[in-house]
């Protein structure tokens, strides 16, 4: 009976993980899509604050659609089954959405600063058109910067061989500089990076693990 306990615990963990990731996808898609649609379809809702919220929602949607299902699969299976190309793509999208979320919040803070400290000055900076242009420029810079990083022009991706924590296998682990410098604590990054409402589940140190051969017990 004791010998079966690890298998039961592992199966239970996989089920709970799948449920959590599935719930995050459903609520994330519905909530963020509603936010985008309401602001886009209702002219009265297109305030500067709501436009910035749309930018946050777009970042969350990209993360939920292109990252969460695949990283959730990795957590359930214990390894990355989608290949190195999609591994790099997912890491790229994680970086872009994280940067976009953070800098959108910075723009929100700057907007509130202008509204409170300089309510009359800088009116030319407080139009919807100027903020839409600013947001588009921000996204363009973030996308271009992370393309440069992903192509290895700034920090090359490092291929290492290490054992997966959940199985007795030797695995090829692809670790990006983004994951090594910003995501040192993989189990807490979903909450600390995006907050509870935006939880999506980041991969462990953004590593895409693909099992290649079994290692005998010593």
- Give the integer Cα–Cα distance in Å for 213 and 173: 13
76 in Cβ contact with 18 (< 8 Å): yes
CA nearest to 56, candidates 92, 32, 26: 32
Q: Could you tell me whether strands 169-175 and 158-163 are parallel, antiparallel, or unpaired per DSSP bridges?
A: antiparallel
Q: Which pLDDT does position 166 carry in this prediction?
A: 44
Distance, in Å, from the CA atom of 184 to the CA atom of 155, rounded to the nearest integer, reads 17
Query: Hey, what's the torsion of the CAs at 2, 163, 193, 35, to 10 degrees?
Result: -80
**In this structure, are residues 88 and 150 in contact, taking their beta carbons and an 8 Å threshold?**
yes
Determine what percent of the chain is predicted with pLDDT higher than 90: 36
- Which H or E element spans position 174? strand 169-175
pLDDT digits (tens, 9 = 90+) for 113-157: 988 888 777 777 778 889 999 999 999 999 999 887 666 544 444
The per-residue pLDDT for range 158-195, each reduced to its tens digit, is 333 344 444 434 344 444 444 444 444 444 444 444 44
Distance (Å, whole) CA 180 – CA 53: 29
Mean pLDDT of 75-94: 89
CA–CA separation, 129 vs 135, rounded Å?
Answer: 10
pLDDT on residue 155? 42
Bridge-based pairing of strands 208-214 and 158-163 is unpaired
Per-residue confidence band for 94, with pLDDT thresholds at 50, 70 and 90: very high
Superfamily of domain 2-156: Rhodopsin 7-helix transmembrane proteins (1.20.1070.10)
């Amino acid at each position: 009976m004791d010998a079966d306990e690890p298998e039961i615990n592992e199966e239970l963990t996989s089920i709970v993980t799948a449920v959590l990731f599935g719930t995050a996808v459903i609520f994330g898609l519905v909530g963020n899509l509603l936010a985008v649609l309401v602001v886009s379809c209702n002219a009265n809702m297109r305030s500067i604050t709501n436009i910035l919220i749309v930018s946050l929602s777009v970042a969350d949607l990209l993360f939920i659609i292109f990252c969460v299902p695949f990283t959730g699969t990795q957590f359930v299976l214990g390894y990355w089954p989608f290949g190195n190309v999609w591994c790099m793509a997912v890491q790229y999208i994680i970086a872009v959405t994280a940067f976009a979320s953070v800098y959108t919040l910075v723009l929100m803070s700057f907007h509130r600063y202008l509204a409170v400290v300089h309510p009359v000055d800088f009116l030319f900076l407080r139009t919807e058109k100027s903020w839409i242009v600013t947001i588009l420029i921000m996204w363009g810079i973030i996308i271009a910067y992370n393309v440069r990083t992903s192509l290895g022009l700034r920090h090359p991706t490092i291929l290492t061989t290490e054992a997966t924590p959940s199985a007795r296998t030797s695995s090829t682990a692809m670790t990006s500089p983004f994951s090594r410098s910003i995501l040192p604590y993989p189990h807490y990054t979903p909450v600390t990076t995006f907050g509870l409402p935006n939880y999506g589940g980041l991969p462990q140190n953004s590593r895409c693990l693909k099992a290649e051969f079994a290692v005998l017990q010593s």
